[in-house]
A = this chain, B = another copy of it.
Amino acid sequence: MELRQLRYFLAVVNAQNFTRASEAVHVSQPSLSVQIGALEDELGTRLFDRLGKKVVLTQAGEVLRDHAERALRELEQAAQAVQELHGASRGRLIVGTISTVNSYLIPPLVSRFKQRFPAIHLQVHAQPSADIVSGLLANRLDVGICLLPVPTDRLTVVPLFEERLVLVAPPKSERRMRLRMQDLVGLPLVLMPADYCLRKMIEEECAEAGIQPEVVLEMTSPEGILQAVAGGAGFTILPELYVRLRLPGKDLQVIDLYGPTPRHSVGLAFLTNRYQNLAAKEFGNLCLSTMATLRTTFKGSNGKKAVADISV
């Protein structure tokens, strides 16, 4: 049984006439006759009674008609559903992001994304960069925003921007604008636990500056850390954009670090061989444009403008 035969069959059902049916499906009449005949042979029954003037369905034909119509409708719907998916009018996108980026980039990004793709079911998981990589490799995530470089060649990476870290000081502390990394010595710090990538990065930067940070409090949520700092628990180091977004209404000061300025590259990653639909492709562009908007809002920040063209 082939779809062609079913299409011809239904054409004959509608036309009640082989010749006109053959015109409807744009083949010659013999061709259609042969195909109907093959279908009848396969099913072991006549499907039509050839009554000279008209051609009418046998009982078997009636049975087949109902089923065939349903089957063809099913496949039409399939094609349409796949098209919509491709045009991203519906579907699913599972994103993994590192928690710092999650805190400032994702909220406006999600709102833009939902505006552009209202019917896409978007899922955002904030998780450590390593988990994002493994999630992508295990095909649990569609795309990921993670720290660069990514330690595998099975992922395609698109650099997005650099994240710069700043020192956040409690209000009463001395009002300096800049601080050398090595001057962090002895400063009481509120940081995330040791398994967080941000913490690891800070420790690496400190090591490079030849010092060891003095951590007086560990908290997982950046929001909690900021509150702790505002409460006088100590200083902290967080991504600049995140801090500047939260600054209004809080009595905190931002102090640039230098010598060197701690920073890391953030990129979009996805499985190289994976097919990405429109929504997934656009997600990367939205990352860049949203980031640009955030930057202009806080002109003090810098970071190289990344060029991204996400395609498979």
Closest to A86 in B: B45
C-alpha gap A58/B275 in the complex (Å): 7
In the bound complex, CA of A67 to CA of B4 (Å): 18
Confirm or deny: A59 has a beta carbon within 8 angstroms of a beta carbon on chain B: yes
Residues of B within 8 A of A64 (CB): 78, 81-82
Chain B: CB-nearest residue to A5? B3
Identify the A interface with B (CB < 8 A).
1-4, 6, 43-46, 49-52, 56, 58-60, 63-64, 66-68, 70-72, 74-75, 77-79, 81-83, 85-86, 91-92, 139, 271, 273-275, 277
30 contacting pairs across A/B (C-beta < 8 A): A1-B3, A1-B75, A1-B79, A2-B2, A2-B3, A2-B4, A43-B82, A45-B82, A45-B85, A45-B86, A46-B275, A49-B139, A50-B273, A51-B271, A51-B274, A56-B139, A58-B275, A60-B85, A60-B86, A60-B275, A63-B82, A63-B85, A66-B78, A67-B74, A67-B75, A67-B78, A67-B81, A68-B75, A70-B74, A71-B75
Contact of A49 among B51, B58, B83, B275 (CB under 8 A): B275
Total identical chains? 2
Nearest Cβ on chain B to A40's Cβ, whole angstroms:
9
What 6 A-B pairs have minimum CB-CB distances, sorted nearest first? A67-B78, A46-B275, A71-B74, A71-B71, A49-B274, A45-B86
Chain B residues lying within 8 Å of A72, measured Cβ to Cβ, are: 71
Q: A52-B273, A59-B277, A67-B78 are in contact. List 6 more A-B contacts (CB 8 A).
A: A1-B75, A43-B79, A51-B273, A59-B85, A67-B74, A71-B78
Assess whether A43 is in contact with B92, with CB atoms less than 8 Å apart. Answer: no
Task: List the B residue with the shortest CB-CB distance to A43.
Answer: B82
Given A71-B74, A139-B51, A43–B83 Cβ distance below 8 Å?
Answer: yes
| Known A-B contacts A83-B43, A83-B44, A139-B49; A60 and B2 likewise in contact (beta carbons under 8 Å) | no
Give the complex CA separation of A282 and B273 in angstroms: 62
